Amino acid sequence: MKLIKSIALVSLTASLLIAQGQGKKKDEALQSVVNTGKQSSKLLLKTLGSNMKKNMKAGGPMKALDFCSQEAYNLTEKVNKELPKGVTVKRISMKYRNPANKPEADEAAVLEALAKLKNANVILPKQVVQKVSADTYKYYKPLVINKKVCLKCHGDIQNVALKRAIEERYPMDKATHYKMGDLRGAVVVTIKK
């Protein structure tokens, strides 16, 4: 009987050690995904943000609109070329202005879940990681309207000329009527290992 208990104890201990080793590898892989996601989303947001700020300062919302409609997508592509192989970054929103920012089905599900949390007054996580397949992950950084300047183009637009210009460039625009603190969308980093 003691021999059976000893064998069972050794087997259980070995199983736990193997599981712990696999857990550690999974933790390291997940941390690598999070680090890549943070760096990539930060690079995109810094690139777009600094250019947006520069254009807003140079000519207000109309100049910022020119930047968004003419350069934001190209700058996103430029950032993608700077990222490691297998890593891409983009912005998504359920209320997108540019159809290029329309989320895929799995991305829409994540945005809807984040919106439910936000509507329930839950503090949003800094990031969400989705395992898409055995070797592909998506890192989401939620974007919240936290600067009043964002509302000049995404709130209840008062400037008639700006409103008209947005309607001309984006006839299917959904990205208006936001308020401070609203979930705007997310930056998504797709990481293929």
Higher-pLDDT residue of 55, 15:
55
Measured distance CA(32)–CA(16) in Å, rounded? 24
Q: Would you state the pLDDT for residue 19?
A: 39
Q: Would you state the pLDDT for residue 15?
A: 35
Q: Is the pLDDT of residue 138 over 70?
A: yes
Residue pLDDT, tens place only, 53-98: 999 999 999 999 999 999 999 999 999 999 999 999 999 999 999 9
pTM of the predicted model over 0.75: yes
Q: Would you state the pLDDT for residue 26?
A: 76
Q: What is the mean pLDDT of residues 8-13?
A: 34
Measured distance CA(9)–CA(152) in Å, rounded? 66
Residue pLDDT, tens place only, 21-42: 446 777 888 999 999 999 999 9
Nearest to 143 by CA among 102, 78, 93: 93
Q: What is the mean pLDDT of residues 113-123?
A: 95
